[in-house]
Amino acid sequence: KHKESYAAWLQYTKIDDQAIADKYAQWCRNLTVLGDSAVMESAKKELIQGISSMLGILPDSCSEPQQSGLVLAVKDSIGDLIDVDFNYLHDDGYSIKTVTSGQNNTIFIVGKKDKGVLYGTFHLLRLMQNRKNLKQLDIIENPKNQLRMLNQWDNMDGSIERGYAGNSIFYKDNQFTQEHNRIEDYARLIASVGINGIAINNVNVHQEETNLITSTLLLKVAEVAGIFRAYGITTFLSVNYASTIQIGNLTTADPLNSEVQEWWKEKAEEIYSYIPDFGGFLVKADSEHRPGPFTYGRNHADGANMLAEALQPFNGIVLWRCFVYNCLQDWRDRSTDRARAAYDHFKPLDGQFHSNVILQIKNGPMDFQVREGVSPLFGAMEKTNQMLEFQVTQEYTGQQRHLCYLVPQWKEILDFDTYAKGKGSEVKKVVDGSLFQNRYCGITAVSNIGNDYNWTGHTLAQANLYGFGRLTWNPDLSAESITDEWIGQTFGDDQSVKELVSKMLLKSWSIYEKYTSPLGVGWMVNPHHHYGPNVDGYEYDVWGTYHFADWEGIGVDRTVKTGTGYTSQYFKENADMYESLETCPDELLLFFHHVPYTHKLKSGVTVIQHIYNTHFEGVDEAEDLVETWLQLKDRIDQERFDDILNKLQEQANHSKEWRDIINTYFYRKSGIKDELNRKIYL
Ligand code: GCU
């Protein structure tokens, strides 16, 4: 039971097509692993599992290459078996080559280091799961991003902040779980898409988790780190900025205090004695009531650098989050704009951060909405390492009860041109370090997994985790190709499954956007848990997340001319585009401008008519998702078919709640009727 749901995209389903199976078998009867390490061992284990499951044969393990077979090797062990130009390979890169000469017929997977071999192994298995031809492989792959990370928002009591797939696989009742097999399977899943770092506890570090850096718990952290290490994944911890007070017997956490500095240096040394390759600290400071350097009149560079100095001797790094804003705002005050906050705090500090600090910046200036502008901080700090943070867990995008495939959204963000160094300065080039030659850089995200048998609550939400990893490896992959790969591995190579599921996934973000908050204005959700419609849920609250709808119009004026001046934080090309009503793109109109309901969009319809239209369409399309899925009955195993069907039906129902609440709200505010006279409740 749960076999397929649990295996996610590592199904390794038996290959029924005998011709293909026979072809694959010529390379899969024996396996030679040249080199010896935990990571090589993982690669070998995975191949044996994949091959035996897909082909029903157990490859012989050989100590040297046979006439035909599979060979895994690293730079130091390949000798002159084949020619690989290692100058083209990064540390995590690999080459896969099919070599045929006379009787010889071998596939080589060669990495510069063992991690490359593991990634190459997963690549080969991906090809086999998608039934690709292996006859003439000549592949060279390097990851575009250096750090490819996940953040677990797991608490030690077993809960997960913004988790929608059960409880933590790491912790339960304030202890570590003993679910090492499950953690290993998670490591396999994420390593298979190239993830190489993980922070294993929530950025909100409460009492219990503050103790993760004390000796009793470090032993346990080291065990988990050992599991991840075998899959090339480095372990990080989120730390409490005020640890010196909480667990250090000091009365201050002032970053310029020498006792504080000393305490962290000793702490770092202690941590590294347990975990020699520990990654470093993830820090949420002076953000949403978390402690930070502001208490002592110091800035974020002071705080981050103090930790960076402690980690420096061990090559550790500090991932310092930029999610800093006033969360006790007064809704009456229209001059304070939460969107401005990160830039206002951090931009003036450019050049002051140590080289082993990375600023971790959310994709947008607000908070992972279905649509918002791209954070203007990207590219704005030439002398500072920057890392992009996405949210795979669907906090504001349907909480894994609604289908919302986020790869198309992430692609748009990565491809957004910041103009930091003129045209062609896309976000992806800022965060891969190529634009400003940064020492550290990359992409991270809040994970969407829990201990549900299918990992992600909604089985189709597995695609978000998969797609995130693939994009961190290579942001230039198209959404379509990532989607195809995922479906092939998850559901097999049935053409109609591929076509229909791909259509569903690729449309789902747009569908979700249609029936929820319109034109980039965001929120309109129930406070605290953030599920379901509540147009004024946050309107008179302290969080700085307002839409300002009145009887005449709606939207946040963030222009320089009449609003909060936020548009000026972008480089000129974008600042001009957003500042002007004429050039501001429709989908972000209400993020940047306050307009009358009768304002005409570029699409030709008025704002109010757009709201009505999209909300009716969104529900129709959510219903179509159910219809489409029903066509796949008998093409997908019963459990996953039923699970997904239930979720899609729930979504279709709940989308009506959204539609009716939003339409009625705006009809009541504006008094303007739907031109098409559809049902709006009074
Ligand atoms: C959001 C989310 C919080 C989280 C915060 C963060 O506001 O609702 O639960 O702690 O982001 O990213 O730190």
Which tokens belong to 501?
């599921």
Please say if the pLDDT value at position 509 is more than 90.
yes
Q: Which helix (H) or strand (E) holds 95?
A: strand 94-101
Half-sphere exposure of 289 toward its Cβ, with a 13 Å CA cutoff?
A: 6
**Residue nearest (by alpha carbon) to ligand 1 atom 2:** 162
| Residue range 174-221, pLDDT digits in tens | 999 999 999 999 999 999 999 999 999 999 999 999 999 999 999 999
Please say if the pLDDT value at position 527 is more than 90.
yes
Please say if the pLDDT value at position 104 is more than 90.
no
Cα–Cα distance measured from residue 430 to residue 420, given in angstroms and rounded to the nearest whole number: 9
Q: How far is the CA of 202 from the centre of ligand 1 (A)?
A: 10
- The yes-or-no answer on residue 395 being catalytic is yes
Cβ count within 10 A of residue 102: 6
Please say if the pLDDT value at position 38 is more than 90.
yes
pLDDT, average across residues 83-94: 95
pLDDT, average across residues 348-371: 98
The answer, yes or no, to whether any atom of ligand 1 lies below 6 A from the CB of 531, is no
E strand residue ranges, 259-377 = 280-283, 317-321, 357-362
Please say if the pLDDT value at position 101 is more than 90.
no
Please say if the pLDDT value at position 633 is more than 90.
yes
| Residue range 528-571, pLDDT digits in tens | 999 999 999 999 999 999 999 999 999 999 999 999 999 999 99
* Location of structure tokens 């599921």: 501
Q: How far apart are the first and last CA of the chain?
A: 48
Please say if the pLDDT value at position 102 is more than 90.
no
pLDDT, average across residues 318-337: 95
The answer, yes or no, to whether any atom of ligand 1 lies below 6 A from the CB of 113, is no
* DSSP letter, residue 172: E
Q: What pLDDT does residue 462 have? A: 98
- The yes-or-no answer on residue 141 being catalytic is no
The answer, yes or no, to whether any atom of ligand 1 lies below 6 A from the CB of 327, is no
Which one from 76, 288, 330, 642 is the annotated catalytic residue? 288
- The yes-or-no answer on residue 288 being catalytic is yes
pLDDT, average across residues 41-61: 97
pLDDT, average across residues 333-339: 95
Percent of the chain with pLDDT over 70: 100
Cα–Cα distance measured from residue 559 to residue 279, given in angstroms and rounded to the nearest whole number: 41
Q: Which atom of ligand 1 is nearest to the CA of 162?
A: 9
Cα–Cα distance measured from residue 392 to residue 148, given in angstroms and rounded to the nearest whole number: 13
Q: How far is the CA of 395 from the centre of ligand 1 (A)?
A: 9
Which tokens belong to 211?
């103790």
Q: What pLDDT does residue 168 have? A: 98
The answer, yes or no, to whether any atom of ligand 1 lies below 6 A from the CB of 159, is no
pLDDT, average across residues 26-49: 97
Q: Which atom of ligand 1 is nearest to the CA of 395?
A: 8
The answer, yes or no, to whether any atom of ligand 1 lies below 6 A from the CB of 323, is yes
Percent of the chain with pLDDT over 90: 98
Which tokens belong to 135?
């006859």
What value does the mean pLDDT of the chain take?
A: 97
Q: What pLDDT does residue 379 have? A: 97
The answer, yes or no, to whether any atom of ligand 1 lies below 6 A from the CB of 286, is no
Please say if the pLDDT value at position 450 is more than 90.
yes
Question: pLDDT band for position 103 (50/70/90)?
Answer: confident
Cα–Cα distance measured from residue 559 to residue 565, given in angstroms and rounded to the nearest whole number: 5
> Interface pTM (ipTM) of the complex?
0.99
In this structure, are residues 575 and 552 in contact, taking their beta carbons and an 8 Å threshold? no
| Residue range 481-498, pLDDT digits in tens | 999 999 999 999 899 999
Of 95-104, 434-443, 582-591, minimum mean pLDDT range? 95-104
Q: What pLDDT does residue 1 have? A: 86
| Residue range 120-159, pLDDT digits in tens | 999 999 999 999 999 999 999 999 999 999 999 999 999 9
Please say if the pLDDT value at position 448 is more than 90.
yes
Please say if the pLDDT value at position 10 is more than 90.
yes
Question: Rounded to the nearest 5 degrees, what angle is found at the Cα of 504, between the Cα atoms of 501 and 507?
Answer: 145
Q: Which atom of ligand 1 is nearest to the CA of 362?
A: 12
pLDDT, average across residues 625-650: 98
User: Distance of CA 661 to CAs 391, 478, 489, 510, Å?
Assistant: 26, 36, 39, 19
Cα–Cα distance measured from residue 476 to residue 618, given in angstroms and rounded to the nearest whole number: 29
Cα–Cα distance measured from residue 200 to residue 16, given in angstroms and rounded to the nearest whole number: 40
